[in-house]
Amino acid sequence: MKLTEEEKIIAVETTQQILAGVDRQNRGQLIPVLQKVQEKLGYVPQVTMEKVANHFAVPAVDVYGVITFYNQFRLTPPGKNQVKICMGTACHMRGAHIIQEAWERRLNITVGETTRDREYSLERVACVGCCTMAPVVVINEEVHGKMTPTRVDGLLFAHQLDKQKAKEGNADNEQ
């Protein structure tokens, strides 16, 4: 996914701020630095990985290796609506992968990515704690149980309607 120029500048500045004062010899700081970047930006962009690798004098591919090894790191900016598909045991047994495929097909992205308009991002999570409602999807903080591919369509449609209404509401207020 392509980042805007503005995002790149913010990423570079944030990284430099966080790296300032970090001991170049202390490679143990690599993960804490990456975590701080993610805390600030919500993801770890490529420019950050290159800068961090340079700072600690390790090959950039090693930093990339760390980022792809740990689930907690994101490579793409999160969307306005974060769709989390539960992959816990109960949800798995009740066909969570079918739900995942439905979202991927509908949003035209794969897990870990964000749609081009930055509206939705898709991720897999471990158990969210309401196994009786399996398979479960959490959109932002809202829990949706007993998911089916048709309900995926329904949720997206409802969301689009809400958005349209909000837009019209704004237009009415302006008049």
Partner 1 sequence: MAEKVTITIDGRTVSAEAGEMLLWAALDNGIYIPHLCADREDKENPAASCRLCFVEVQGRPVPVPACTLPVSEGLVINTRSERVDGLVAAAFELLMSNHKLDCKNCPANGNCELQRIAKERKLRLKPKNLPVLERNLPVDNSVAGLVYDPNKCVLCGRCVRACRRGGNAVLGFTRRGYDRVVTTFGDVPLAESGCSGCGECAGACPVGAFSVQK
Between residues 100 and 152, which has the closer beta carbon with respect to partner 1? 100
C-alpha–C-alpha distance, residues 98 and 104, integer Å: 10
Interaction site with partner 1 (CB under 8 A): 46, 49-50, 59-62, 64-65, 68-69
Between residues 6 and 69, which has the closer beta carbon with respect to partner 1? 69
Between residues 109 and 134, which has the closer beta carbon with respect to partner 1? 109
C-alpha–C-alpha distance, residues 2 and 47, integer Å: 12
Between residues 47 and 131, which has the closer beta carbon with respect to partner 1? 47
Q: How far is the CB of 67 from partner 1 (least distance, A)?
A: 8
Residue 136's CB: how many other CB atoms inside 10 A? 27
- Sheet harboring 120-125: ordered strands across? 120-125, 81-86, 137-139, 142-144
Q: How far is the CB of 61 from partner 1 (least distance, A)?
A: 3
Contact 50, 16 (CB under 8 A): no
* Distance from the Cα of residue 81 to its chain's centroid: 9
CA-to-CA dists, residue 46 to 4, 141, 158, angstroms: 13, 29, 35
Q: How far is the CB of 168 from partner 1 (least distance, A)?
A: 42
Q: How far is the CB of 50 from partner 1 (least distance, A)?
A: 8
